Amino acid sequence: MEELTFGTMIAVFEEMFGRGLFWALVIAAVVVTALYLYVLIRDRALSMRKFLVAQIAMPFGAVAAIWFVLAITSSHLRDLGGPVDLIVLLGIAALGAVGAAILVYTAQSLFRRKQPT
């Protein structure tokens, strides 16, 4: 792999996760992002109460993302080989945490009734 292109990255992720799972994850991410933007536009403000609950979900999202990637790739934490592996693992945890926060905030906004102010 001499060049790091977008097509190369897609091919690597398809190989890691399998074509079906990878594209299902991409579609799920696009749907949740679109719903999040819909909620922000609809409510015209960020609810700090919902945001706090969403932040509480972040550590669970980080752990779930790491567990998911390790399970899908048949790897273990003992397989970490160096600083780059640790940076990738921390990146996965960060993306899982942010994804969980967005998912929880969106779910709260879509399924809970508005509280009187």
Distance CA 21, CA 14 (A): 8
Summarize pLDDT for 48-81 with one digit per residue, the tens: 999 999 999 999 999 999 999 999 888 888 888 8
Cβ distance 96 to 67 under 8 Å?
Answer: no
Sorted by where each begins, the domain ranges of the chain are: 6-111
What pTM was computed for the model? 0.84
Half-sphere exposure of 56 (CA within 13 A, CB side): 6
Summarize pLDDT for 36-55 with one digit per residue, the tens: 999 999 999 888 999 999 99
Q: What are 50's two structure tokens?
A: 């919902």
Q: Encode 60-93: b = buried (16+ Cβ within 10 Å), e = exposed.
A: ebbebbbeebeeeeeeeeeeeeeeeeeeebeebb
